[in-house]
Amino acid sequence: MSATPGPRPLEYQRVAGELRQMIVEGELRPGDRLPAEGELTARMGVSRGTLREALRVLSSQNLLTSARGVNGGTFVAEPSTDDVSAYLETSLTLLSRSVVSSANLLEMRSQLEVPAAELAARRRTDEDLRLLETSVCRPTEPGLGRDPGRQRMNSDFHLHLLRAAGNPVLEMTARPVFSVLSQRFRRGEPGPGFWERVSAEHAEILGQIRDRNTRGARRAMRAHLTGLRDTYLRIDVTRLGD
């Protein structure tokens, strides 16, 4: 028994897909200007309105950029790591409402951030170390008394660590996972003593990175993320129960 075919894509989706494939395969390279609108509509066999809708889709995905003037037109863009992370974060946020659970995200985060801690211990620069040090909140600091301050410093620590790992692919993959989990974390209260524990664990990770102890950094990050797991899942379940 043959499978029921899915719905056919709309014409603008087909055109966007074909142009995207041309970019991915290198037929169109970053900086290339797209052919004139009339040439593209004839090649694709679509109306100008359909073509423009396809170009809007690709522009929203940061694959195309436009410029005005004598030398203007529509050009193939070169996405930055921030563009890729933002796209992944949006997709993960939508998927986390139905398909991807917090447990899935936590598992993936561990797979990414534990090796990142090892790489950071091996590759960190003095500037990386300075940024990590400024993002560890001490119990006596005023910032520890306010949730926004604590959450910001917590986020900063993990983002600085990912950058210190020196692998842009690792950073742009791990950052969206961390960001989506942080959004879910803000749904509830972590409980007494949580931020003090986080501060101490960050200080331990920092110490291992400062000493360039790769094994110690892996071990400290794994212990930190394992300890966070129960809090994240409890907040998620509590929210669902509401």
47, 159: one domain: no
Query: pLDDT per residue over 201-217, tens digit each?
Result: 999 999 999 999 999 99
Give the residue from 76, 107, 129 where a domain finishes.
Answer: 76
pLDDT value for 163: 94
Number of domains present in the structure of the chain: 2
The pTM (predicted TM-score) of the whole model is: 0.71
pLDDT value for 99: 84
pLDDT value for 125: 97
180, 103: one domain: yes
63, 124: one domain: no
67, 85: one domain: no
Q: Please give the Cα distance from 198 to 137 (Å, whole number).
A: 9
Give yes or no for a contact between 157 and 136, defined as CB atoms under 8 angstroms apart.
Answer: yes
Q: Please give the Cα distance from 97 to 100 (Å, whole number).
A: 7
- Token pair belonging to 181: 């989990």
pLDDT value for 130: 96
Read off the amino acid at residue 50.
T
pLDDT value for 110: 94
pLDDT value for 54: 94
23, 59: one domain: yes
130, 217: one domain: yes
91, 126: one domain: yes
16, 128: one domain: no
Helices (H), 26-101: 37-44, 48-60, 81-95
Query: pLDDT per residue over 55-76, tens digit each?
Result: 999 998 888 998 887 778 899 9
pLDDT value for 232: 79
pLDDT value for 5: 52
211, 112: one domain: yes
129, 32: one domain: no
Q: Which residue carries 């563009």 as its tokens?
A: 83
Q: Along the chain (242 residues), what's the average pLDDT of each consecutive run of 10 residues?
A: 56 92 90 91 93 93 84 86 83 84 89 96 97 81 53 87 94 88 73 86 97 97 92 66 42
pLDDT value for 178: 86
Residue 90 CB coordination number (10 Å): 12
Can you give the residue range of the structural domain that contains 48?
11-76
